[in-house]
A and B are shown apart, each in its own frame.
Chain A
Amino acid sequence: MPRIPVLKIKDVLVVSLQVEMQDRLALELQDDVLSTLKRTGARGLLIDVSGLDVVDSFLGRIVADTASMARLMGAKTVLAGLQPAVAITLTELGLSLPQIRTALNLEKGLALLENDD
């Protein structure tokens, strides 16, 4: 089964969710992100979701949990590239992800994390 790569740019880990996310893949990603955070001491986590056209409450919870865990390990999370229809649907579902900062795209997300220190 494929895994989602966790890339590091300066002090920021970047993951891009582009495929149809299945539960196992999402949970593996959570593990990979946290172990890479520990290994590299990265200060930021950028999650690109521009390729996702469906985010249900399960995946939404994984993203929210991963952000909480990353925060406990000293890293801030930015969610980048949420499609408008997904943003509308997530809010209607009742999942507004209040603790996660968002950016319009990857570039703006990276800038947000880099300018934070």
Chain B
Amino acid sequence: MSDTPAPITVEVASEEDVVVARTKGKEMAKTMGFGTVDQTRIATGISELTRNILQYAQRGHLTLRPLDTQVRQGLEILAEDNGPGIANLNVVLEGRHQPTRGLGLGIPGTRRLMDEFQMTSQVGQGTRVRCVKWLT
């Protein structure tokens, strides 16, 4: 691999940041050699995660990092906030959450778009989502 992009962290505090984050994610995915559909999956997942940060925590950050395990390469997406947290993660993960704004598709949908997906949350502490898309 000739030119691995450097990790990027985007502060998320406004709608504009959602667009910045997903644009940077798409660029990084393209640089790493992901195809158009995967670039779109990555950009869309980032859009969902950063939108959730804005909606539920008002602010947070998103880190994009290339992974190289010798065996394969991937793009890691880390979305973190110090917001109110989620009491019942399973409700959200299974798409049973019925928000007033949005469809409740963001998290279960993003999980389907990615190859790896982990979500942890503590009430009063914040929420962390880590996903990876592997380059195949």
Contacts and interface: CB of A to CB of B under 8 A. Distances in A.
A56 B45 CA distance: 8
Interface stretch (B64-72, B85-93, B98-106): B98-106
Interface residues of B, number: 27
A88 to B, nearest CB: 5
A94 B112 contact: yes
Contact of B37 (A22, A56, A89): A89
26 contacts: A20-B19, A22-B15, A22-B16, A22-B19, A24-B15, A55-B44, A56-B44, A56-B48, A56-B51, A56-B106, A57-B48, A57-B102, A57-B109, A58-B51, A58-B102, A61-B103, A84-B36, A84-B37, A85-B37, A88-B41, A89-B37, A89-B40, A89-B113, A92-B113, A93-B48, A93-B112
B44 A93 contact: yes
A94 B95 contact: yes
